[in-house]
């Protein structure tokens, strides 16, 4: 590959629904025109950076700086996030008649989950814009990550999470000196509480897809998948989907790499799979045509706290990714998740979050249905460490 590139963010964010542009150099939330997520636009020029040059850079998400918002180095708030390993799951593959089974372990990020990527980027941009305090509704991991990056930046943090969230998440937020507020209900109830608290706008709201930059941090998973697999993509990527930022971000990364020539012209992009919990599966329900959209969907708690997102603002973008990629959406039960966690731990030495167990459970179901073929290269995303979910998993991991 011999295409040189440079890039910069030249003043444009655009509404994901109608395309209207917005200024990136001031506080932005959702678009004022459509109340939809804002997406970053880049002007990408052939010039100075070869994909091969990446090898000499620090192994963090910032290695892709030409394809990230133009944040000045002194404003970057980093704990070494990104460049998590892709592991080969030979034992599980052999037991399940799969020839190529891989897992990207996001539980090895700072704060124990993939949320470190997005919150590093969002808090960095907030710092550059002069914000002093941030607030977030969370199912667990995102709140911990925001608290950590705010602590690193010297910013005030307010975290609003469901009361039933495992104590490990709550204690981590307190350790980072965040103000923790517990709410009865799911993340949508926490979001309503955030709106009430933040009526004056004193806090910068970094809710999922309600600011443009968490997506830019999450998309680096897509860059890493391509780079770590020598620019040859998997046939299928199986992703646990709550708010869906990572799924959307990975697809955005693939599109940007194709535009730059980083991916071979003949490459076929992966089929993307959105995995949800049976007790909270708004995307699956819409995908199957059982509802027009998830705006009135009512979900219930699940062992995979990160999947308990009943009304994701990014639903149109998630569905677009599934359609464009030839993908699908599938739900699994809590019992199937636990079995997935147990099998990943026992046979591969990976103690994943219930979300990680969910993607393995979903992969087996899709293999049984013939949607995945035994000879296809399948990549699972484990988005967090099982250590944080011990309250949820206690007594469930033995036969």
Distance from C-alpha of 283 to C-alpha of 280, rounded to nearest angstrom: 9
Mean pLDDT, residues 161-180 taken together: 97
Tokens of 193: 């509480």
Distances in whole angstroms, Cα of residue 80 to Cα of each of 16, 55, 153:
30, 16, 14
So what's the pLDDT on residue 3?
A: 35
Q: How does residue 264 score in pLDDT terms, banded at 50, 70 and 90? A: confident
So what's the pLDDT on residue 266?
A: 82
Q: How does residue 53 score in pLDDT terms, banded at 50, 70 and 90? A: confident
Structure pTM? 0.95
Question: Does residue 399 have a pLDDT over 70?
Answer: yes
pLDDT digits (tens, 9 = 90+) for 146-167: 999 999 999 999 999 999 999 9
CB distance 206 to 123 below 8 Å: yes
Mean pLDDT, residues 173-187 taken together: 97
* The Cα angle at residue 274 between residues 324 and 347, in degrees rounded to 5: 130
So what's the pLDDT on residue 45?
A: 63
Mean pLDDT of the chain: 94
Closest CA to 252 of 167, 314, 182: 314
CB distance 204 to 27 below 8 Å: yes
Tokens of 213: 């930059």
Please name the fold of domain 115-205.
Answer: Rossmann fold (3.40.50)
The reply to whether 86-110+214-393 and 115-205 are identical in fold is yes
So what's the pLDDT on residue 49?
A: 63
Question: Does residue 289 have a pLDDT over 90?
Answer: yes
CB distance 22 to 252 below 8 Å: no
Q: How does residue 70 score in pLDDT terms, banded at 50, 70 and 90? A: confident
Can you name the residues that pair with 103 across neighbouring β-strands?
87, 380
Q: How does residue 10 score in pLDDT terms, banded at 50, 70 and 90? A: very low
The strand order across the sheet containing 328-332 reads 86-88, 100-105, 377-382, 236-240, 271-277, 328-332
Distance from C-alpha of 137 to C-alpha of 186, rounded to nearest angstrom: 10
pLDDT digits (tens, 9 = 90+) for 235-247: 999 999 999 999 9
Does domain 86-110+214-393 fall under CATH 3.90.1150.10? My reply is no
> How would you write the chain as a 3-class SS string?
CCCCEEEECCCCEEECCCCCEECCCCCCCCCCCCCCCEEECCEEEEEEECHHHHHHCCCCHHHHHHHCCCCCHHHCCCCCCCCCCEEECHHHHHHCCCCEEEEEEHHHCHHHECHHHHHHHHHHHHHHCCCCEEEEECCCHHHHHHHHHHHHHCCEEEEEEECCCCHHHHHHHHHCCCEEEEECCCHHHHHHHHHHHCCCCCCEECCCCCCCHHHHHHCHHHHHHHHHCCCCCCCEEEEECCCCHHHHHHHHHHHHHHHHCCCCCCCCCCEEEEEEECCECHHHHHHCCCCCCCCCCCCCCCCCHHHCCCCCCCHHHHHHHHHHHCCEEEEECHHHHHHHHHHHHHHHCCCECHHHHHHHHHHHHHHHHCCCCCCCEEEEEECEEHHHHHHHHCCCCCC
Distance from C-alpha of 392 to C-alpha of 124, rounded to nearest angstrom: 32
Give the number of other CB atoms < 10 A from CB of residue 32: 12
CB distance 28 to 210 below 8 Å: no
Domain ranges of the chain: 5-75, 86-110+214-393, 115-205
Q: Which residue has the tokens 């979050």?
A: 353
Question: What letters, b where the CB count within 10 A reaches 16 and e where it falls short, cover 323-356?
Answer: eebebbbbbbebebbbbbbbbbbeebebbbbbbb
Tokens of 3: 């295409």
Q: How does residue 5 score in pLDDT terms, banded at 50, 70 and 90? A: very low
Task: Give the range among 6-20, 199-213, 290-304 with minimum mean pLDDT.
Answer: 6-20
327 contact partners, CB below 8 Å, separation of at least 6: 271, 272, 273, 274, 321
pLDDT digits (tens, 9 = 90+) for 353-391: 999 999 999 999 999 999 999 999 999 999 999 999 999
Q: Which residue has the tokens 């899709």?
A: 366
pLDDT digits (tens, 9 = 90+) for 76-111: 999 999 999 999 999 999 999 999 999 999 999 999
Q: Which residue has the tokens 């204690």?
A: 171
């Amino acid at each position: 590959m011999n295409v040189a590139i440079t890039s910069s963010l030249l003043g444009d964010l655009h509404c994901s629904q109608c395309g209207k542009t917005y200024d990136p150099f001031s506080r932005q939330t959702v678009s004022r025109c459509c109340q939809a997520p804002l997406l970053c636009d880049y002007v990408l020029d052939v010039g100075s950076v070869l994909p091969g040059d990446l090898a000499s850079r620090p192994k963090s998400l910032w290695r892709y700086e030409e394809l990230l918002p133009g944040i000045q180095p002194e404003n970057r708030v980093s704990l070494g996030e990104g460049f998590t390993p892709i592991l080969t799951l030979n034992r599980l593959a052999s037991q399940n008649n799969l020839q190529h089974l891989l897992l990207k372990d996001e539980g090895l990020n700072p704060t124990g989950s993939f949320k470190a990527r997005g919150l590093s980027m969002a808090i960095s941009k907030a710092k550059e814009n002069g914000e002093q305090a941030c607030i977030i509704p969370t199912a667990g991991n995102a709140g911990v990550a925001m608290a950590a990056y705010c602590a690193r930046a010297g910013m005030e943090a307010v975290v609003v999470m469901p009361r039933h969230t495992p104590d490990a998440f709550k204690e981590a937020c307190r350790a980072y000196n965040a103000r923790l507020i517990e709410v009865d209900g799911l993340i949508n109830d926490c979001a309503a509480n955030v709106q009430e608290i933040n009526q004056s706008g004193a806090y910068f709201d970094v809710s999922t897809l309600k600011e443009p930059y968490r997506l830019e941090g999450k998309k680096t998973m897509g860059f890493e998948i391509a780079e770590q697999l020598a620019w040859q993509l998997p046939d299928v990527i199986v992703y646990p989907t709550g708010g869906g930022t990572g799924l959307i971000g990975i697809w955005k990364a693939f599109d940007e790499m194709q535009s730059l020539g980083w991916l071979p012209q003949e490459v076929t992009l992966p089929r993307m799979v959105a995995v949800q919990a049976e007790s909270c599966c708004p995307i699956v329900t819409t995908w199957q045509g059982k509802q027009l959209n998830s705006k009135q969907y009512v979900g219930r708690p699940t062992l995979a706290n990160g999947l308990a997102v009943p009304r994701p603002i990014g639903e149109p973008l998630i569905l677009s990714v599934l359609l464009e990629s030839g993908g699908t959406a599938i739900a699994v039960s809590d019992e199937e998740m636990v079995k997935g966690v147990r099998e990943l731990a026992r046979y591969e030495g990976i103690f994943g979050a219930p979300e990680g167990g969910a993607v393995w459970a979903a992969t087996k179901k899709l293999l049984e249905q013939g949607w995945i073929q035994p000879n296809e290269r399948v990549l699972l995303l484990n988005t967090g460490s099982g250590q944080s979910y011990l309250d949820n998993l206690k007594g469930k991991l033995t036969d």
